[in-house]
Amino acid sequence: MGSITTRMGDGYTVTLTTDEVRRDLSEGSEDAARRGKIPALDEREIDYLFDLFDSPRRIVGVQRGHEAILSKDGCGNTLYSAQLSSGVGLPLSREQAIRTFERAFGFDTFELGHTDYTFKQVKPIVALEQTTMESVLLTTIVPLFYGAMPNLGLYAQPDGPFPNPSELLPEGKVDEARQAQEVAAEACRRDIVWMGEKMAETGADGFNLDTTAAAGDAEFLAALQATEELAAKTDLAVEMGMAAEVVLGFHGQLEYKGVRLAGLWPHQQVKLAEQAGVAIFGPVVNTNTRKSTPWNVARASTFVKACSEAASIPIHANVGMGVGGVPMFEVPPPDAVTQASVALVEIGKADGL
């Protein structure tokens, strides 16, 4: 029986038999199908993924002509930031980093964002963000987003003005915890819209809501409502990247256009994003570090395929560290990264990454 050298979800090398790889591919896909109530990959798709992992090559790529569009969160922080962003600490300004991604790395789009990547945090320095955006727009050609996170957690005490639901819930104060999330979400919505309008004034092409719903259903609601307002008031193309594969029901009762937000999976999230006016949706599928990369990639491909089939707008699947089948490791191995990249475009039918 043959063997295949691949990786675990934490990036470390593991050697599996060919039967074990096939089993992991099937089980990963079936796990997604069971949780999301979506179709599992068919035999032809599993065969494709098996061939991908059976390749001894260090790097793989999509078929010529199947290339997809790249967008990126976090600005160029991977170049100039510290380990908190897997950054390599180069002495570059944001403008230099953006132009490096455009002219040296061949990125199709890019974004401006602050290192403290949260709408609430960048409001006091909006003039800096606007003038930097205006400057970068003069010197670059690719479409430019302004990006940040809704980050609802920062609206709760001690970081923000509202009672902290994480403290109220253990005390059994469910109604108070829900009310705290509702008022925080309204403040978050206002901040996102305010920043969006400021960026629309600069002539930015788009606005990226990154790691949406990290704090659960209330944050998702704030992001959807903010998008609806920005789509109506501005020319900004809103990209909405999610934080996790399922929307956590931290509140549990919130709805958008009659749909309960808690517990939604990517193929359900995208339908609400479309209704809100989102132009590009970024589904997330979490990587399980205790499972193999074939298991994780098959699982991610299954979720992304269902999302792509449900969508009428472009899908840019998240493929950073620890999502989209990519191992959870800050120096990710290109073999596993490129395998995930190919799988989500060729099998997941993502329009971009």
Partner 1 sequence: MGDPLGMSLSHALASGMGGIRTAGDLVARMQLRKMRLAEAKEYVAGKLKVAVGDLADSTVMRELRAELDIGVITAVPGCAKGIDAKARIAELLGVEIPCVSKLAERVARRPG
The distance in angstroms from the start CA to the end CA of the chain is 35
Candidates 2-10, 179-187, 291-299, 331-339; binding stretch for partner 1 (CB under 8 A): 331-339
Please state whether beta strands 110-112 and 280-282 pair in parallel, antiparallel, or not at all (unpaired): unpaired
CA-CA distances (angstroms) from residue 95 to 99, 109, 169? 6, 14, 43
Nearest 5°: phi and psi at 312?
-110, -5
CA dist 172 and 168 (Å) reads 7
105 belongs to the binding site for partner 1 (CB under 8 A):
yes
Which one of residues 14, 92, 126, 137 is an interface residue with partner 1 (CB under 8 A)?
137
Which one of residues 56, 91, 106, 124 is an interface residue with partner 1 (CB under 8 A)?
106
> Which contiguous run of DSSP H or E holds residue 282?
strand 280-282
Q: For residues 85 and 292, which CB has a smaller minimum distance to partner 1 in the complex?
A: 85
Which one of residues 108, 167, 186, 197 is an interface residue with partner 1 (CB under 8 A)?
108
Q: For residues 179 and 234, which CB has a smaller minimum distance to partner 1 in the complex?
A: 234
Which one of residues 9, 28, 36, 74 is an interface residue with partner 1 (CB under 8 A)?
74
Please state whether beta strands 110-112 and 13-17 pair in parallel, antiparallel, or not at all (unpaired): unpaired
Please report the DSSP string for 147-216 in residue order. Answer: EEB--GGGGBTTTSSB--HHHHGGGT-HHHHHHHHHHHHHHHHHHHHHHHHHHHHHT-SEEEEEEETTT-
Question: In the complex, what is the shortest distance from the CB of residue 233 to partner 1, in angstroms, rounded to a whole number?
Answer: 13
Which one of residues 235, 253, 259, 263 is an interface residue with partner 1 (CB under 8 A)?
235
Question: In the complex, what is the shortest distance from the CB of residue 8 to partner 1, in angstroms, rounded to a whole number?
Answer: 16
Which amino acid, one-letter code, is at 132?
Answer: T
Which one of residues 50, 53, 107, 155 is an interface residue with partner 1 (CB under 8 A)?
107
Question: In the complex, what is the shortest distance from the CB of residue 262 to partner 1, in angstroms, rounded to a whole number?
Answer: 26
Question: In the complex, what is the shortest distance from the CB of residue 7 to partner 1, in angstroms, rounded to a whole number?
Answer: 13
CA dist 188 and 196 (Å) reads 12
Question: In the complex, what is the shortest distance from the CB of residue 161 to partner 1, in angstroms, rounded to a whole number?
Answer: 30
280 belongs to the binding site for partner 1 (CB under 8 A):
yes
Give the count of residues interacting with partner 1 (CB under 8 A).
Answer: 67
Candidates 27-35, 79-87, 160-168, 175-183; binding stretch for partner 1 (CB under 8 A): 79-87
Binding mask 194-233 for partner 1 (x = CB under 8 A): ------x-xxxxx---------------------------
Candidates 43-51, 173-181, 265-273, 308-316; binding stretch for partner 1 (CB under 8 A): 308-316
Nearest 5°: phi and psi at 119?
-55, -45
CA dist 76 and 341 (Å) reads 20
Which one of residues 26, 109, 118, 208 is an interface residue with partner 1 (CB under 8 A)?
109
Cβ neighbors of 279 (< 8 A, separation 6 or more) are: 206, 237, 238, 239, 313, 314
CA dist 31 and 72 (Å) reads 28
Binding region for partner 1 (CB under 8 A): 59-62, 64-65, 67-72, 74, 78-79, 85-86, 88, 101-103, 105-109, 134, 137-143, 200, 202-206, 235, 237, 279-280, 311-314, 319-322, 326, 329-334, 337-338, 341-342, 345, 351-353
